[in-house]
Amino acid sequence: MKDGTATMVMTPPATKPKKKEVSGQELRKTWVGQSIKRREDPRLLTGRGTFVDDITLPNLHHAAILRSPRAHARILSYDTREAENHPGVIAVLTGEEVGQMSKPFPVGVTAAFKYYSAAVGKVRYVGEPVAVVVASDRYVAEDAMELIQVEYEPLPPIVNCEAALEADAPVLHEELGNNIGCHRLLNYGDVDQAFEEADLILKERFVFPRYSSLPLETYAVIADFDAITGMFTVHSNFMGPFSMHAVAARALDVEENKLRFIVPSDIGGSFGIKTSIYPYIVLLSLASRKAGRPVKWIEDRQEHLMASSCQTDRVAYREVAVKNDGTLLGIKSKVIENVGAYLRAPEPACTFRPIGNFVGPYKVRNVQLDAYVVMTNKCPTGPNRGYGCQQIYFEQERMMDRIAEELELDPIEVRMKNLITAEDMPYTTPTGGIYDSGDYPKAMDLVVEMSQYTKLRERQKKARAEGRLFGIGIATGVDPSVSNMGYITIALPPEFRARAGYLPKSGSAESATIQMNQRGKVSVTMGTTPQGQGHETVVTQIVADELGITPDDVVIVDEFDTAKHGWSISSGTYASRFASVGTSAAVLAARKLKGKIIHLAAALLSVPEEDLIIQEGKVFAKDNPEKNITVKRVAGTAHWNHELLPDDVEAGLQARAVFRFPANVAPDPQDRVNSSNTYGFMVEIAVVEVDPDSGKVNILDWFSVHDAGTIINPKIVEGQIYGGALHGIGGALFEELAYDDDGQFLTGSFMHYVCPTAVEAPKLTIGHICSPSPLTLLGSKGAGESSSETAPAAIAGAVADALGPLGIRINELPLNPKRVWTLIHESKTP
C-alpha cells in the first residue's frame, strides 16, 4: 500500500477539465480527478429541480397529522365526529385504526414490543402521531385536526436513559417488563489480562447529546393505494437502505412487489435522517387506503424537529488500560444508548454500525463493549451522518487526551504511539473489521505540518501567559463506508443467529444500467437516491473515462423506482457508500458495454477481440490501425442493422452491472464482523479560544487531513468535508434536541434548535493523502460522513485544552455558551 500513497495539500482545483490527452495504447484517464461542474446544478439553480413537494397527482388530497402533546399517556378515547363533518374533509384515521389495518414494524432484536406508525393504546413521546386528517387542502386538514378530541390518562414519563434502567423506572412497553430493547456484552481479545498488565487505568463517564444533521427539506410523502389491485404507490424522499422497504411492506402486510417506492431526482438533504421516513410512508399509505385517493403529506419544521428522527443520545463509561509509555492495552466500554420510545429499525445500528472500527486507528487488541439499548419517552432515533462514530470517537479521543495528560505526553505523541501503520494493512481489527488501506502516521504527519503544530503550542503558551483560554484539540477516526448489511445482526446473540431456519445477513451491492444509442451517445440510469452528493456528475466523469468520450456525450438519470430499477436490500445512499460501491457499479457497467462494443467490432472487422482497442471514438486493430471502425458505426449497426449481428450478440447496446464486495460475511460466533467495506481516515486539529465572560467558543483555525483513497471530483469531496465538519461542529457547540424531565420537547423551532450560519462556520484547511482502496474499481472510498465523526471530539479536545488550566474536564456536549460559562464559573467558586 505504501507505494500507492501520495500527498497533496488541496489547492483550488481547476474548474475546467484538462484537455484530453492520449498516450500510448490506452486513453489516459482525464475526467476522474477533475472538479468538473456539477450536472445537477442547472436545474437546481433555476428552480426546476424535482423534489417530492413539486409533484402533484390527479385528485391529490392533503394530510395533516395530529400529534401527542404528552410524553407518556394512555389514550382513553377519540372523538373525530366534528373533524369528519368539517367541509372538505375526506377521512380521519386514528391510531386505533392503524392498529387494526397494519402490523407492527419488524426490528432486528429479540425484545417483543409493538411499534406502529401511529400510537396504538398509548402515546410514548411528544409528537407521536395520534390521528391523520385527509382533506381537500392542507389548510382545511389543519383546521379539522384541531377539532379532534383525544382523552388521555397521563402516565409517569422517563427521559433519562440511565434512570430508565433502574428497577422502579416507569416502563414504556409493559410486555417487556423493563425498558431494555437490546443488551449485548461483547468481548474481544483478553480484556482482563490487559487490565492486569496495565501501568495505568483511567475511567471516565461521557454524555453525548441528541442532535440531527437536519435536512432543510422536511419529510415528504405522496401515498396512493389502488383498492382493486392492492398496490401501494409511494413517492417520497426516502433514501434507503431499501431493507426498510421490506420493513414497511411487513407493516402494511403486502408483498414487496405490491409496494412501489418512487424517489425523484432531487432530495433536499438527508444525512441519514430520511431513512426513518418509512413509518410515515406506512401511515400515509393507510390514510390513502381509508380515503380512497392519493394523499400528500409535507412535514412541517416543528414536526420534523420533534418527531422525525435524530441520532441517539448516550451515556458511556469508558475505562482504558495503558502502559507507562502510552501504549493502549485494552478498552472497557459500557454504553447506554437512548433510542427513544420505540427501538426502530435499523436501530440498534447506532451501537453496532461502527463495531468493526470500534478501535478507530489504534492497535489495541482487547476490547469489551457492554451495550444497553434503552427506550425512553423521546422521539425514536435512526441513522444520522456519522452514525454511531461521533459517539465512540468522542469517548475514544477524550480518553487519549486523558492518557496524555496523566503521562505528561503530548497528545499527538500518544496517538502516534498507538496508530496502525501502512505496513499493517490490510489490518484486521479485534472486532472483525478489515481496514483495506491507509497510512495513518503519514496523515498525522501532514496535519502536524499543515497546522505548524509546534508553533501552535508556542502561540498557546503566549496566550496563556496573557491569561487567555486558548486550546488545541486533536481527533482521529477511521471512516467506515459501505455497510455490510450483516453487522446489524450483532444485536442478536450468536445462539439466535445459529438457530435452524435463521437467514444470516450479509452484503452490500449497487447497480448501474448503461445504454449507447445508435449515434454513440450514452445514457446511464442509476437509482442511488442521492441527496446532494453529485452522483450524476461523478458517474458522468467515470463513464466518460471508461468509454473514452466526453461528459457532453453522457446523460445520467438518477431516480429511483422499485418497479423499474435494478435494486436490492442494500440499495440507497447511506453509510458513505456511493464513492465505493456506486462508482464501482458504474465502472463495471461501462466496462461491460465496452466489451460488447469490442465484441461486435471484432465480428464486423473480422479481427480477434483481444487485438482491438477503443480510442478517440474508434475501434482499432492494435497492430494494423488501418483496420478500424467508428464506435458510432458499431452502435448504429447494433441498433439499425441486426442482419450483421452474430448470433451471440444482443441487439442494441446496453449493459447492467451489479457490484458487490467480496469480504461481506455474516458475523462469526465470536461476534466479529467486517461491518463496512472500505475504511478511510481523518484527523482534525481544531484551534479555539474561549471567551470567559460569555462562555462562547471561538474557532480560530481548523486543519483537516483525509484519506478517502482516489478522489473522483475534488470539489465534491471538499464540499462533503465542509458539510460534515459543520454538522459535527454544530452538534458540539449549538444544536441539541432537548427535553425537560417531563418529556416535554423544548426545541421545536429554529429559535431553539440553533443551527450554525455562514457567520459561525469556520474556514477549514484541508489536506489529503491517498491510499487507494484495493477493493473498489477506482480505488475510491466514501467521504460523506468523515469529519462529522471527528469534529465533536476535536471541539471537545480543544475546549478541554483551553479550560485545562482551570481544572475543567470536558466529558459532555454540547459546549454551548451556557454550559461553558457555567463550567468556568463553577471552577472559580471554591
Q: Which parts of this chain interact with other proteins (CB under 8 A)?
A: 15, 35, 37-38, 40-49, 51, 53-54, 87, 139-140, 143, 213-218, 266-269, 271, 298, 300-301, 531-534, 715-716, 718-719, 721-727, 749-751, 755, 757-759, 761, 763-764
Site of grid cell 442493422: 641
Quick check: 307 and 248 in contact, CB under 8 A?
no
Q: By three-state DSSP, how is residue 485 classified? A: helix
Site of grid cell 424517489: 263
Quick check: 756 and 731 in contact, CB under 8 A?
no
Residues 6+ apart with CB under 8 A from 547: 522, 553, 590, 593, 594, 614, 631
Minimum CB distance to other proteins smaller for 59 or for 77: 59
Minimum CB distance to other proteins smaller for 15 or for 452: 15
Quick check: 774 and 671 in contact, CB under 8 A?
no
Minimum CB distance to other proteins smaller for 29 or for 301: 301
Q: Name the minimum Å distance from CB 725 to other proteins.
A: 6
Minimum CB distance to other proteins smaller for 220 or for 425: 220
Cell of 388: 454511531
Quick check: 355 and 675 in contact, CB under 8 A?
yes
Minimum CB distance to other proteins smaller for 220 or for 469: 220
Q: Name the minimum Å distance from CB 477 to other proteins.
A: 18
Q: Name the minimum Å distance from CB 300 to other proteins.
A: 6
**Residues 607, 204: Cα–Cα separation, whole Å:** 71
Minimum CB distance to other proteins smaller for 270 or for 506: 270
Minimum CB distance to other proteins smaller for 307 or for 605: 307
Q: Name the minimum Å distance from CB 123 to other proteins.
A: 24
Which neighbouring-strand residues pair with 131?
Answer: 66, 94
Minimum CB distance to other proteins smaller for 218 or for 583: 218
Quick check: 411 and 798 in contact, CB under 8 A?
no
Main-chain dihedrals φ then ψ at residue 585, nearest 5 degrees: -65, -40
Q: Name the minimum Å distance from CB 303 to other proteins.
A: 10
Minimum CB distance to other proteins smaller for 375 or for 732: 732
Q: Name the minimum Å distance from CB 575 to other proteins.
A: 18
Minimum CB distance to other proteins smaller for 5 or for 302: 302
Quick check: 60 and 292 in contact, CB under 8 A?
no
Q: Name the minimum Å distance from CB 142 to other proteins.
A: 11
Transcribe 224-268 into DSSP letters: EEETTTTEEEEEE-----THHHHHHHHHHT--GGGEEEEE-S---
How many Å from the N-terminal Cα to the C-terminal Cα in the chain? 55
Q: Name the minimum Å distance from CB 131 to other proteins.
A: 19
Q: Name the minimum Å distance from CB 218 to other proteins.
A: 8
Q: Name the minimum Å distance from CB 751 to other proteins.
A: 7
Minimum CB distance to other proteins smaller for 12 or for 662: 12
**Residues 733, 740: Cα–Cα separation, whole Å:** 20
Q: Name the minimum Å distance from CB 712 to other proteins.
A: 14
Which 8-state DSSP code applies to residue 579? I
Torsion of CA 126, 131, 137, 143, to 10 degrees: -70
Q: Name the minimum Å distance from CB 699 to other proteins.
A: 12
Q: In whole angstroms, how far apart are CA 279 and each of 178, 248, 814?
A: 24, 7, 29
Residues 6+ apart with CB under 8 A from 724: 385, 386, 784, 785, 786, 787, 788, 789, 791
Which neighbouring-strand residues pair with 684?
Answer: 475, 704
Q: Name the minimum Å distance from CB 755 to other proteins.
A: 6
Cell of 719: 464540499
Quick check: 196 and 190 in contact, CB under 8 A?
no
Minimum CB distance to other proteins smaller for 45 or for 644: 45
Q: Name the minimum Å distance from CB 685 to other proteins.
A: 17
Within a 10 A sphere around the Cβ of 648, how many other Cβ atoms? 7
Q: By three-state DSSP, how is residue 187 classified? A: strand
Closest CA to 535 of 570, 478, 585: 585
Q: In whole angstroms, how far apart are CA 642 and each of 251, 597, 646, 649?
A: 48, 14, 9, 9
Minimum CB distance to other proteins smaller for 301 or for 809: 301
Q: Is the dihedral of CA 484, 485, 487, 493 positive or negative?
A: negative
**Residues 415, 473: Cα–Cα separation, whole Å:** 13
Quick check: 181 and 339 in contact, CB under 8 A?
yes
Residues 6+ apart with CB under 8 A from 100: none
Minimum CB distance to other proteins smaller for 264 or for 772: 264
Quick check: 1 and 705 in contact, CB under 8 A?
no
Q: Which amino acid is at 813?
A: L
Closest CA to 211 of 724, 745, 728: 728
Within a 10 A sphere around the Cβ of 449, how many other Cβ atoms? 15
Q: In whole angstroms, how far apart are CA 378 and each of 143, 305, 309, 340?
A: 27, 12, 10, 4
Site of grid cell 505528561: 408
Minimum CB distance to other proteins smaller for 218 or for 508: 218
Quick check: 470 and 459 in contact, CB under 8 A?
yes
Q: Name the minimum Å distance from CB 260 to other proteins.
A: 23
Minimum CB distance to other proteins smaller for 527 or for 532: 532
Quick check: 556 and 539 in contact, CB under 8 A?
yes
Q: Name the minimum Å distance from CB 750 to other proteins.
A: 4
Minimum CB distance to other proteins smaller for 66 or for 172: 66
Q: Name the minimum Å distance from CB 758 to other proteins.
A: 4
Q: Name the minimum Å distance from CB 783 to other proteins.
A: 13
Within a 10 A sphere around the Cβ of 714, how many other Cβ atoms? 19
Minimum CB distance to other proteins smaller for 216 or for 644: 216
